[in-house]
Amino acid sequence: MIQLDVSNATGFLPEDWLTSRTERLEQARGWLENGSGAGGSFTGWVHLPRDYDKEEFARIRCAAKKIQSDSQALVVVGIGGSYLGARAVIELLKSPNYNLKKKDTPDIFFAGNGLSTDALLEIIDLVKDRDFSVNVISKSGTTTEPAVAFRIFKNLLEEKYGKEEARRRIYATTDAHKGALKGLADSEGYETFVVPDAVGGRYSVLTAVGLLPIAVAGIDLEKLMEGAAQAMEALSVPGMDNPAWQYAAARHALYTLGKRTEILVGYEPAFRFFAEWWKQLYGESEGKDGKGLFPASVEFTADLHSMGQYIQQGERLMFESVVRFAESLGSFTIPHDPDNVDGLNFLSGKPLSFVAEQAMRGTLLAHVDGGVPNLVIQAARRDEHTVGELIYFFEYSCGLSGYLLEVNPFDQPGVEAYKKNMYALLGKPGYEAQKAELEARLGH
């Protein structure tokens, strides 16, 4: 199971950093387990790895098989939690170069997560001459970005295959009962999957929202859920050796001491997008009421040659949380150079992973010496089971963290602000007064 090594942070913390918080952690644990805290109606993810809908799970795997058999590409239409989780897991378990690699599963493109014309045209160009399917993911069906993209890819499918076959190539992940997309899906006969009411977007990667694209990429859902279930069991046990308790307490203690930025550190390019998922999870859960750690991320050792300078010697406002996988999937031995041009023959014959390990250990000590506390999240091999654990570990710790911070970790009231302004400026019926006011402020 995931372990947390706090030994490179405790020197910065008071002795009672954990003990002074166990009572509140016990309370937060209860709120999560029973859904009795702030935002408690959105704690459906807590027991999801045990209680998930087995019938739907089987249908997801079936749909993935069909898509694998009749499509060279899958276009996933969704934004925020309807996008980040699937992309994070696919990149972490397959590769950021997943689409480029030779494989027997479809390419996967993420659309409808922004408003870039050029990015959209590019995806159209990449799929239009190939067999493809669409997974549209939206609770309501009316969020601007995915709704616009869905109009486009639906049209494209209908032009290419006709209405009948297009319907068989559209998979809608949406509300179980209501909403625009659910209505359309029912009337058109799309296969549908459920965005559960009790699970918010950023906690939804282990629902159909994340699982269908993840399954299409050839990832073993069973093992992913097993890993999450194992973490669920382990982390529900109260106690000071619970790594989620430790992580939540340590980051809250560091915040209390004045740290304002948490940098999630990975050592694999494949981890880059998982960090983006983590940013949404923590940033949206904690960043409210003028509070919260600012979530940032780096990819080492690459970024030791970019953000490394700042981390070593800039403002002392941050700490690092390092995710360390115990082993690589493959192995590679550093070749010998008879001329030793680069002076690295003391490494000849050693595995590259040995060098990476020493870089990690050396960086840890350098940053601690520079005044940056380091928490190390130790995971096993980068496989389905471990990634399932990691997802649940971060979700559960995030719930605890939000309660320690005394915020509702399950709402996101600030996300509406830009939408309202955008609707007004776009001339959406009903927003006329606001439009005039905003235009005046913009001075044209």
Binding to a copy of itself, residues 362-381 (CB under 8 A): 362-363, 365-367, 369-370
Catalytic residue among 163, 291, 419, 420: 419
Q: What string marks each residue from 249 to 278 as x (binds a copy of itself by CB under 8 A) or -?
A: -----------xx-----xxxx-----x--
Distance CA 413, CA 123 (A): 32
Active-site position among 284, 286, 320, 395: 284
Q: How far is the CB of 109 from a copy of itself (least distance, A)?
A: 9
> Interface with a copy of itself includes 147 (CB under 8 A)?
yes
Our measurement of the distance from residue 68's CA atom to the centroid of its chain's CA atoms, rounded to an integer in Å, reads 24
Query: Phi then psi for 206, rounded to 5 degrees?
Result: -95, 10
Closest CA to 296 of 250, 257, 264: 264
Residues 377-406, interacting with a copy of itself (CB under 8 A): 382
Q: What residues from 18 to 47 belong to the interface with a copy of itself (CB under 8 A)?
A: none
Cα gap 418→352, rounded to integer Å: 46
Restricted to residues 420-439, the positions that interact with a copy of itself (CB under 8 A) are 420-429, 438
Size of the site for a copy of itself (CB under 8 A): 132
Cα–Cα dist 192/14, whole Å = 52
Q: How many CB atoms lie within 10 A of CB 12?
A: 18
Angle of helix 272-286 relative to helix 84-93, nearest 10 degrees, comes to: 150
Interactions with a copy of itself, residue window 193-252 (CB under 8 A): 201-202
Nearer to a copy of itself by Cβ, of 121 and 237: the residue is 121
Residue 284 designated active-site: yes
The residue range among 28-36, 45-53, 107-115, 218-226 that interacts with a copy of itself, by the rule CB under 8 A, is: 107-115
Dist CA 398 CA 43 (whole Å): 12
Please, are residues 275 and 296 in contact by the beta-carbon 8 Å criterion?
no
d(CA 110, CA 79): 9
Among 1, 38, 180, 380, binds a copy of itself (CB under 8 A): 180
| Position among 288, 376, 385, 408 found at the interface with a copy of itself (CB under 8 A) | 288
Residues in region 311-370 near a copy of itself by CB under 8 A = 311-318, 328-332, 334-335, 337, 339, 341-344, 346-347, 351-356, 358-359, 361-363, 365-367, 369-370
Q: What does the block give as tokens for 20?
A: 């002074």
Q: Is 412 in the site for a copy of itself (CB under 8 A)?
A: yes
Among 257, 291, 381, 406, binds a copy of itself (CB under 8 A): 291
Q: By C-beta, is 230 or 321 nearer to a copy of itself?
A: 321
Using the minimum distance from each CB to a copy of itself, give the nearer residue, 125 or 164. Answer: 125
Between 58 and 354, CB nearer to a copy of itself: 354
| β-strand partners of 110 | 76
| C-alpha span between 364 and 360 (Å, rounded) | 6
Give how far the C-alpha of residue 292 lies from the chain's centroid of Cα atoms, to the nearest Å. 18
Question: Is 103 an annotated catalytic residue?
Answer: no
Q: Which is nearer to a copy of itself, 34 or 309 (CB)?
A: 309
Beta strand pairing call for 261-266 and 3-5: unpaired
Of 299, 383, 384, 389, the residue at the interface with a copy of itself (CB under 8 A) is 299
Cβ-based nearer residue to a copy of itself, 229 or 377: 377
- Cα separations (Å) of 163 from 68, 73, 159, 355? 21, 19, 8, 56
Q: Is 55 in the site for a copy of itself (CB under 8 A)?
A: no
Of the pair 186, 197, the CB lying nearest a copy of itself is at 186
Distance of CA 42 to CAs 31, 36, 331, 407, 411, Å?
A: 11, 10, 42, 14, 9
Torsion from C-alpha of 246, 251, 252, 254, nearest 10 degrees: 120
The residues carrying an active-site annotation are 284, 419
